[in-house]
Amino acid sequence: MSGWTPAGVLGAGLQVAMVVAGAPLLLGAMRQVRARLEGRAGAGIGQPWRDLRKLTRKEPIRPRGTTEVFRAAPVLLVATTLVVAAVGPFLTTSSPLDRVADLFAVVALLTLGTVALALAGLDTGTAFGGMGASREMTIAALVEPTLLVAIFALSVRVGSTNLGAIVTSTLHDPGRVISPVSLLAAVALLVAITAETGRLPVDNPATHLELTMVHEAMVLEYAGPDLALVELASAMRLAVFLGLLANLFVPWGIATGAGVAALLPAMVAFAGKVTLLGVALAAGEVFLAKLRLFRVPELLAGSFVLALLAVAASFFLA
């Protein structure tokens, strides 16, 4: 299905704009929810944008002894997330970049962003950077099987791993959403997404203790506009992952045809679903503590088993 229609191009552009503009707002909303539940006043939904603005106004600092990898990593991170934001089935199922909208390709692109950051962490030559990179790569390596097998489970009924095709087929067959396959795959993906985006219980995004840092340790040396890019990228990744989770399982509201008019309700639906998911995630985080790094593989193994069961169910219940 060729997406080079006005609706398709406009949809892709709007998706990117929404993700870029809305991701810090999503992050702010999640932090605000956590703060309120913990009895604090909170900094407001717009605080992440205020932080980004502050960071871009600062002086760019390049640590001595680092190479181009350190400078290129934030750019690459944001670029991969932008591409995923453009191809994902967020506002429309017919994207102009349909040839890239393969679920395996999308997952691999997001891993590419993680790799860029890990290399930057190693490039600093500090113990923090190395430690963060090491832990991040361990978690990423162990999350891959869950992600890919969950994608497998999703694609069996549809017969394709193309994102647009999966969403369209779920739209045509609403009963599939509450089947055991979908539920198991959804839970497995939720755990995997928690690991990939560095949320509790895998990683605490608000910590700066070296014993507990994973993502924060890698980006410790970044300052100024580079740090702004990294923060923006991590918010965008969260938004993109939540968007994928939402639209793969609950796609109603998405624009399927070539009509431009369907994009407005699609935007509202997307924003609503992602915010809802984010708020639920944040509320859940209040009750969780961070796991030891060496308990994380057990969690990921559990999610892997769920994904495997989803695949088995899709075969035996076919």
Partner 1 sequence: MSVAAAAMGLAMAVAAVAAVAAVITPASRRQPVVGVATAVAGAAGLVSGVAAMAGSGYSVALPWLLPLSGLAFAIDPLGGLFVAVVGGVAVVTAVYGIGYRGHGLGSRAVQASFPLFIGAMLLVPAAASAGTFLVCWELMSLASLVLVVTEHRHQPRVAQAGLWYAVMSQLGLVAILIGLLVFAAHAPDDGFGSLRAAAEQLPPAARGVVFGATLAGFAAKAGIVPLHAWLPRAHPEAPSHVSALMSAAMVSLGGYGIVRVGFDLLGDPGRWWWLLVLALGAGSAVYGILQAAVHTDLKRLLAYSTTENMGLVLVGIGAAGMFASAGARVLAGLALAAALLHVINHAAFKALLFLAAGSVLRATGTRDLDALGGLRSGMPVTTALFGIGALAASALPPGTAFVSEWLLLQSLVHGLPAAGTATAVTMPVAVAAVALTAGLAVATFVKAFGVGFLAKARSPAAAAATESPPTMLAGMAAAAAACAGLALLPALLLPAVGHAVAAADAGAADPAVRSAVSLRLVGVAGSLSPLLLATALLAAAAAVLITVRLVARRAGRVAPLWDCGGGPLTARMEYTATSFAEPLQRVFDDVLRPELDVDVSHHAESRYLVAAVEYRRRVPDPIEQRLYRPVLAAVAWWGSAGRRLAPGSVHRYLGYGFYGVTALLVVLAVTR
For the segment 148-167, give every residue that binds partner 1 (CB under 8 A): 148-149, 151-152, 155-156, 159-162, 165
Q: Which is nearer to partner 1, 29 or 103 (CB)?
A: 103
| Position 311 contacts partner 1 (CB under 8 A) | yes
Contact pattern from residue 125 through residue 144 relative to partner 1, giving x for each residue in contact according to CB under 8 A and a dash for the rest:
xxx-xxx-xxx-xx-xxxxx
Site size toward partner 1, by CB under 8 A: 86
Are 81 and 16 contacting, i.e. CB atoms less than 8 angstroms apart?
A: no
Q: Please report how close the Cβ of residue 23 comes to partner 1 at its closest, in angstroms.
A: 14
Q: Which is nearer to partner 1, 75 or 268 (CB)?
A: 75
Q: Which is nearer to partner 1, 127 or 206 (CB)?
A: 127
Segment 247-276, which members bind partner 1 (CB under 8 A)?
none
Length of the chain: 318
Instruction: Spell out the residues 6+ positions from residue 100 whose beta carbon is closer than 8 angstroms to its own.
Output: 83, 87, 106
Tokens coding 169: 């087929």
21 to each of 167, 171, 274, how far by Cα in Å? 24, 27, 13
Looking at 6, 17, 67, 272, which residue binds partner 1 (CB under 8 A)? 67
DSSP string, 2-57: ---SHHHHHHHHHHHHHHHHHHHHHHHHHHHHHHHHTT-----TTHHHHHHHHHHT
Q: Please report how close the Cβ of residue 287 comes to partner 1 at its closest, in angstroms.
A: 27
Instruction: Spell out the residues 6+ positions from residue 67 whose beta carbon is closer than 8 angstroms to its own.
Output: 123
Looking at 38, 41, 289, 294, which residue binds partner 1 (CB under 8 A)? 294
∠ CA 307-189-37, rounded to 5°: 135
Q: Which is nearer to partner 1, 153 or 255 (CB)?
A: 153
Q: Which is nearer to partner 1, 115 or 250 (CB)?
A: 115
Q: Please report how close the Cβ of residue 70 comes to partner 1 at its closest, in angstroms.
A: 8
Instruction: Spell out the residues 6+ positions from residue 70 whose beta carbon is closer than 8 angstroms to its own.
Output: 62, 63, 120, 123, 124, 221
Half-sphere exposure of 279 (CA within 13 A, CB side): 12
Segment 8-47, which members bind partner 1 (CB under 8 A)?
none
Segment 93-112, which members bind partner 1 (CB under 8 A)?
97-100, 102, 104-105, 108-109, 111-112
Segment 208-247, which members bind partner 1 (CB under 8 A)?
220-221, 224-225, 228-229
Q: Please report how close the Cβ of residue 250 comes to partner 1 at its closest, in angstroms.
A: 23
Strand-pairing partners, residue 102, are 162
Q: Please report how close the Cβ of residue 142 comes to partner 1 at its closest, in angstroms.
A: 7
Q: Which is nearer to partner 1, 125 or 284 (CB)?
A: 125
How far apart CA 33 and CA 79 sit, in angstroms, is 29
Q: Which is nearer to partner 1, 146 or 275 (CB)?
A: 146
